[in-house]
Amino acid sequence: MPTSAIIDTAIGLTFVYFVTSALVSHILEYINAHILGVRAQYLEVSLRNMLADPMPKKGPPPAGIVTHFFGHSLIQGLTEPNMSTGEPLKDKRPAYIPSRTFALALMDVIAPAQGTPGTIAQLEAQIALLPEGNAKESLTTLVTSADGKMEAAVANIEDWYNSSMERATGWYKRYTQKILLVLSLAFVVLFNIDSISLVETFWTNPTLRASVVASAMKSGAQPAGTAGHSGTVNPGSTPSAAPTVMPTATAVPGASPAAPGTTKPGAGTGDIPGVSKAAGGQVADQSTADAVSQKELADEMGQLNSLPIGWHAANPPAFPMLSPFTEGEQVQAQTDLAGQYASKLAGWLITVLCVSLGAPFWFNFMNQFINLRQGGSPPGDKKS
């Protein structure tokens, strides 16, 4: 079996998974961030858990520390504005809060500045007035351990926030993984992305195989684009954070890049077009997470159009009962039909499971095959 044909088929298949994962991730990210507001919800719940200010089961939230925090001008500036007036939308929460912004806003809510920079002593005095609970105990420890240095206190609060967002990332990932599987299934069936059929098509059609490999190599050489689905609850909370990888083609709002909050299989180091430059789909800042543009989606849809997928290419068998077959031929036709349907369902299931691994995983895997292909065939192996 020619080695080059096997490698090219693998490249074509991983390219299909990569493009599909990236597109599904963009769709899921858009739904979570702009339609359902899931990112903002998880971020608020995480902050309320941190600051011991839970959301009531019924009615509006009380005017506690979290309510004052979200009303701070630094946080209001991160809230989606009304396009007509430019004012922050009412009852909207930001989906992303940088860790330093969180620390500065929280300190100003606890100990408001009176025209002059606050001191550690003033901050400690105001923290002592907070209600007894985990938030007061945590803040007291963080500020006391700063040894009287305001910048150290800010850094301690930033670290506290980042570590809390790591846990929120886990919650968000579990939620998005379920939604991703459902969305992937719908997308795979809608576009008839059958892995078994794809392998057969790539293997038997060298021209198409070469065309898809060329597209894959071009895609692998592109610079990174914007993220479709980040893996953290608050991506970009700390620009210095180490990038983390999501297990889905999509990811979670909240953890800073400096604090590894999410772990994804197949984390790599290459730039990923259509995903984030961070190795696992975690977005570098708020603007990249929100920039799910129509052009990006159109480009990815264009890539799908060049692939051997879709119902236009399918040739569903005629229903045997309506065909002028003899009884024996009809039984055989029904058996063949059942086998084709079983193969189709298996092909869809394989695609759904592969797409759920995420665009970063398949981008890195695809590039490994491309590097292997560019290394040449082993001595004595005939090229197909």
Q: Which pLDDT does position 162 carry in this prediction?
A: 93
Query: In the structure encoding, which two tokens stand for residue 176, read together?
Result: 């998005």
Query: In the structure encoding, which two tokens stand for residue 271, read together?
Result: 């730039």
Q: Average of pLDDT values for 71-90?
A: 76
Residue 231: which of 171, 291, 299, 159 has the closest Cα? 171
Q: Which pLDDT does position 82 carry in this prediction?
A: 67
The pLDDT tens digits for 272-326 are 333 333 333 333 343 443 444 455 556 656 666 666 687 754 445 444 444 555 6
* pTM higher than 0.85: no
pLDDT at 228 over 80: no
What are the sequence ranges of the domains in the chain?
3-37+179-374, 40-162
Terminal Cα distance for the chain, rounded? 9
pLDDT at 85 over 80: no
Q: CA-to-CA distance for 264 and 361, rounded, in angstroms?
A: 8
Cα dihedral sign, 341-344-348-350? positive
Q: How far apart, in Å, are the Cα atoms of 351 and each of 171, 229, 268? A: 25, 19, 22
